[in-house]
Amino acid sequence: MLKSITKEDFFTRVGELSNDFEIIGPMELPLKGIFYQSILNTEDLYLGDGFAIEPIKKFFLEPSTRLLRYPWKNEPGVESFSPPERERIAIGVRPCEAKGLVLLDSVFDPPASSDLIPNSAPGAGKKSSNRAGSTYQDAFYTNNRKRTIIVGLACGRPDRCCFCTSLGVSPAGTTGMDVLLFEIEGGFAIEIITDRGKGIFGALGKELSEEEKKLLTSVNNKREDLLEKKIRVPESMDTIFTSDYWDKVSRSCISCGICTYLCPTCHCFDLIDERRIKLRCYDGCSFPHFTLHASGENPRPTKKERYRQRVFHKFDYFKINFGENLCVGCGRCIRFCPVKIDIGDIVDKAPLSKKR
C-alpha cells in the first residue's frame, strides 16, 4: 500500500502516537552529529539525508543490559529484572540498519521451528540443515523487538562509505520494516508493509496518483546508482586464513572499538558483574583483551588475528552458520575509523586466488 502524506500530517500523527508509544528517532545535535534518541518533541525528529552515528541496534541489543541481580547475604536464587513493556516506534531507520536487525534476529530471536528446541543449550536442538543456526531466544532482545514498530526512511544521499548494494541491501529496501517512508516534495510517500505498520499509519494520507507513482518508481530505480562504492564479496575466505594479508591490512589498526560498536550487526558481548548486578555490555574483536583467557592465554594475541576474526565472522563464519553475510554495507566502520581502514576494500582485494 503506497500513499502520500504531507509533512504536517505526518508529524501530527507522530505527535498523537507519542501518547501511546515511546518515539525513537534521529535527532541532530549541532556540531556533534545525528543520534538516535527517545524523541520528546516531534519537531526534534531529524528526517534528512544524514545518517545517525550509532545504528538503531542500540535500542535492541543495548550497550548494557541488566540481566539479573544477586541477592544480599547468602539467600539462594537471583532476582530478575522485569523487561520493559512500553511499546515503541523507531522512526527514520535506514534500510541497512533494518536488515541488520533481521540478521541479529537469526542469533537472538531465531524463528521458532518444530525441529529446533528453543531455550536449550546450543547444539541441543536437532539441526534442520547443516547450518549451525541458533536455537536460543534471548528474552531481552526478543522483548525489544516485539515492542518496537520500525518506520524506515529510504536513503536519498548515500555517501562515499556506503556500499549496501554490494550486500544485497537497497537504499529503498523494505526488509525488516513495518513502514517505509520516501521523501517526496512536500512530504512523504509512505509504504505500509506489515499489519503493525497499517495499525499506526494505515488511516493516513491519500493514494498516490499514477503520475506520482511513476515518479517515485523512477527515483527508486535510480537510488542504487547513487552508490559509488561497490565491492566483490567472496563466497568463502577459507583459503586465505593463514595469509600474511591480514598482517598487512591490520597493521594500522589502533585496536579501538569504533568499528564494532557502531556496526549494525556486530553483537559480541561481555558479561560483567557490578554491584550485585550481572550486566551484558558490548565487546569487540578489535580490543586487545578480546578472548583473553583467565590463564593469560589469548588465542587471538595480535591485531592480525583479531582483524581477521572481524572479517571472517562477517564474510565467512556467519555465512556458514546462517547463510548470509554479517554486513549490510552501512559504511559506519569506514566513516568513523580513526585511521581509515576500509573493510570493503579489504574484502574486495582479498588475495583469494593465491594461497599465500
Q: How far is the CB of 8 from other proteins (least distance, A)?
A: 30
Specify whether the CB–CB gap between 198 and 220 falls below 8 A.
no
Interface residue with other proteins among 47, 53, 226, 352 (CB under 8 A) is: 53
| Type of residue found at 320 | I
Characterize the bridge pairing of strands 88-93 and 22-29: parallel
Q: Is residue 71 involved in binding other proteins (CB under 8 A)?
A: no
Interface residue with other proteins among 97, 105, 178, 342 (CB under 8 A) is: 342
Secondary-structure breakdown of the chain: helix, strand, coil percentages, each rounded to the nearest 5: 30, 20, 50
Please list every residue from 140 through 179 that binds other proteins, using CB under 8 A: 159-160
Of 115-123, 162-170, 184-192, 334-342, the window that binds other proteins (rule: CB under 8 A) is 334-342
Interface residue with other proteins among 15, 48, 63, 199 (CB under 8 A) is: 63
Helix (H) or strand (E) holding 281: strand 277-282
Characterize the bridge pairing of strands 206-207 and 187-192: unpaired
Residue 34, beta-bridge partner list? 28
Q: How far is CA 327 from CA 25, 115, 228, 263, in A?
A: 22, 28, 18, 8
Q: Is residue 86 involved in binding other proteins (CB under 8 A)?
A: no
CB closer to other proteins out of 178 and 342? 342
Q: Is residue 73 involved in binding other proteins (CB under 8 A)?
A: no
Q: How far is the CB of 272 from other proteins (least distance, A)?
A: 5
CB closer to other proteins out of 200 and 334? 334
Residue 343: how many CA atoms within 13 Å on its side-chain side? 31
Of 148-156, 177-185, 213-221, 336-344, the window that binds other proteins (rule: CB under 8 A) is 336-344
Q: How far is the CB of 309 from other proteins (least distance, A)?
A: 17
Characterize the bridge pairing of strands 64-69 and 79-80: antiparallel
Interface residue with other proteins among 254, 276, 299, 355 (CB under 8 A) is: 254
Site track 179-218 with other proteins (rule: CB under 8 A), x = hit: ----------------------------------------
Interhelix angle 95-108/139-146, nearest 10 degrees:
140
- Provide the 10 A C-beta neighbour count for residue 13: 17
What phi, psi does 104 have (nearest 5°)?
-65, -35
| Type of residue found at 234 | P
Interface residue with other proteins among 44, 67, 335, 352 (CB under 8 A) is: 335
Nearest to 93 by CA among 221, 193, 231, 228: 193
Helix (H) or strand (E) holding 184: strand 179-184
CB closer to other proteins out of 219 and 256? 256
CB closer to other proteins out of 40 and 272? 272
Interface residue with other proteins among 251, 276, 355, 356 (CB under 8 A) is: 251
Characterize the bridge pairing of strands 88-93 and 148-153: parallel
CB closer to other proteins out of 182 and 290? 290
What phi, psi does 146 have (nearest 5°)?
-60, -35
Q: How far is the CB of 46 from other proteins (least distance, A)?
A: 15
Interface residue with other proteins among 81, 281, 299, 351 (CB under 8 A) is: 281
Can you give the binding site for other proteins, defined by CB under 8 A?
A: 29, 31-33, 35, 53-54, 63-64, 159-160, 251-252, 254-258, 261-262, 270, 272-274, 279, 281-282, 284, 287, 289, 335-336, 338-340, 342, 345
